[in-house]
Structure 1
Amino acid sequence: MKNQRIFPGIILIGFGAYFLLQQTGISFFLEYSTWPTLIMIVGVAFLGQGFWAKDAEAILPGIIMFGFGLHFQLVGRVDFWPHNHIGMLILIISIGFFMRFQKTNTGLFQAFLFLIISVLLLFYDQIAGYFGLLQSGFSFIWKFWPALLIVIGIYFLLKRKK
């Protein structure tokens, strides 16, 4: 049985500290006293459950929640942080699958799949320019790459196990 004290302990400490700092009115904290901070706290609780209690299945939601919260904290505040929300969110999911794979040896395919999709979304303009797709007739086909994802997904759903 997994140690079930870690997750609620971190949640209570994190939320307690969040609300205590919010009540103190410290100007530095008030800037970060937003919903992404609460999501990050829950993510840290999942990560604590995943690493300290050796519950590897908690790693993926921990990375996703912490990463999403961090993304929404940094976007618009840090100049170098990408503003492409969907590309960054998919990259965070990919990182979560890689971290879970490290502990469970499952999910490597999903990790690479999400990584490829995130790179396509984050660097779409550069990739299209690199291949000269915008100037060629191939650009018409390039616009429909999401349809290819749908076809591949349907294949995986209908593929029979051998």
Structure 2
Amino acid sequence: MKKKSYLSGVILIGFGIYFLFQQYHFSLFEGFYSWSTLLFIVGLGFLANGYLGKAYESILPGVVLTGLGLHFHIANKLDTWPDHSGIFLLLVALGILLTYVKTGTNLFQGIIFLAMATLLLFFDRLLVWANQQGHNLSSISQFWPFLFIILGAYFLFFKKSR
């Protein structure tokens, strides 16, 4: 039995509503006529396909695209919103963890991404705290890329999938 795909339908309806509102200058959504809204709509299509269509592999791209769309809207409106690369890793972690809820796979990867995102988001505060305690951790920032490469190589070459 074939699964029903919701991806194209949701994206086309979303784009149609977006362009209709834009064409008729619907003032309620005046600040939302940008590419980040289109990212959000595509993400909703993937999420609908993932949850309604039971195509759970669509959850990760849905969370990432929807999250990026929201992130760019919020970052443009709130000065206190973190505009940091850790946000992207946080979205990937959330996507992997939400996929885990449905499939029961990749929990370890989700936790690793969540830990890395947390460290990246709060690394500046961690450095300030360490300096106040008399420790100099600034050299650790030079090793981030190597940590990512080592973890990636582990998942590619050594970790066996079940």
TM-score with structure 1 setting the length: 0.86
Partner SS for 2:53: coil
Number of the residue aligned with 2:59: 59
Cα gap change, 1:160/1:94 in structure 2, threshold over 3 Å: closer, same or farther?
Answer: closer
1:77 aligns with 2:77: yes
Range with bigger deviation, 72-81 or 54-63: 72-81
Note the alpha carbon deviations across 1:136-159, whole angstroms, 9 max, x for none.
Answer: 455434532432332343344443
Paired amino acid for 1:37: T
- In the alignment, the residues of structure 2 paired with residue 159 and residue 100 of structure 1 have an alpha-carbon distance, to the nearest angstrom, of 22
1:148 aligns with 2:135: no
Give aligned pairs, total: 159
- In the alignment, the residues of structure 2 paired with residue 16 and residue 139 of structure 1 have an alpha-carbon distance, to the nearest angstrom, of 49
- Structure 1 segment 120-135 matched on structure 2, within 5 A: 120-132=119-131, 135=134
Paired amino acid for 1:2: K
Range with bigger deviation, 110-119 or 145-154: 145-154
Query: What's the CA shift for 1:31?
Result: 1.3
Whether the aligned pair in 2 keeps the contact of 1:128 and 1:134 (CA below 8 Å) is: no
Range with bigger deviation, 61-70 or 133-142: 133-142
Cα gap change, 1:50/1:120 in structure 2, threshold over 3 Å: closer, same or farther?
Answer: same
Q: CA RMSD in A?
A: 2.2
Cα gap change, 1:160/1:104 in structure 2, threshold over 3 Å: closer, same or farther?
Answer: closer
Q: Unpaired segments of 5 or more residues in structure 2?
A: none
Number of the residue aligned with 1:90: 89
Paired amino acid for 1:26: F
- Structure 1 segment 114-125 matched on structure 2, within 5 A: 114-125=113-124
- In the alignment, the residues of structure 2 paired with residue 160 and residue 29 of structure 1 have an alpha-carbon distance, to the nearest angstrom, of 47
Cα gap change, 1:158/1:98 in structure 2, threshold over 3 Å: closer, same or farther?
Answer: closer
Cα gap change, 1:34/1:106 in structure 2, threshold over 3 Å: closer, same or farther?
Answer: same
Identity value in percent = 42
TM-score with structure 2 setting the length: 0.86
* Structure with more helix by fraction: 2
Query: What's the CA shift for 1:50?
Result: 0.9
- In the alignment, the residues of structure 1 paired with residue 36 and residue 137 of structure 2 have an alpha-carbon distance, to the nearest angstrom, of 41
Cα gap change, 1:47/1:143 in structure 2, threshold over 3 Å: closer, same or farther?
Answer: same
Number of the residue aligned with 1:107: 106
Partner SS for 2:7: helix
